[in-house]
Amino acid sequence: MNLELEHMLVEKYPKILQDYRKSPKETCMAFGIETSDGWYNLLDKCMQKLQYLCDICSKDGREVQVVALQIKEKFGTLRFYTSMPGANEIETNILEDIISEAENQSSYTCEETGNDGTICKKGGWVKTLSYEKSRELQFTACNKETEEYWKTKDAKPTED
């Protein structure tokens, strides 16, 4: 993710991203947010929900806080690794559900644009891409039916 977008997330969610750019001996967040820009909104909504729940659960001298350990793309989808100090079992399950929802949404959100996408491949690389980005980057859809549909779109002349 570009630094401007990363810094916007750090500014909005300083507690979640408290390890951002610390030493690589301490955290994988030393490498920043290792996704493309298209997932900015997805991550923003996820962290907004996480921080909201943490704030609600933090009371009577008890603090619940999600801390990002690593945020990256792997095999075309989002991976959001965290620690959840102070969270009880129910809170942990709810926080994990919020993260799982974002990770699932990443499988149909283009990493590059944020538009609708599908998991695509090129050699050993896997990314979630929109039709336009897949063609620009020379990826093919992993889903056979989607790729066949895209080929019919490729064959149609564009209108000027």
Q: How far apart are CA 22 and CA 32, in angstroms?
A: 9
pLDDT tens-digit map of 123-157: 999 999 999 999 999 999 999 999 999 999 998 87
**Residue with the larger pLDDT of the pair 29 and 155:** 29
Average pLDDT on 1-21 reads 97
Start-to-end C-alpha separation, the chain: 33
Two tokens, residue 122: 């090129």
Q: How far apart are CA 46 and CA 9, in angstroms?
A: 11
Residues 6 or more apart whose CB falls under 8 angstroms from that of 144 comprise none
What is the side-by-side strand order in the sheet with 125-129? 125-129, 118-122, 140-141
Residue 38 confidence class, pLDDT cut points 50, 70, 90: very high
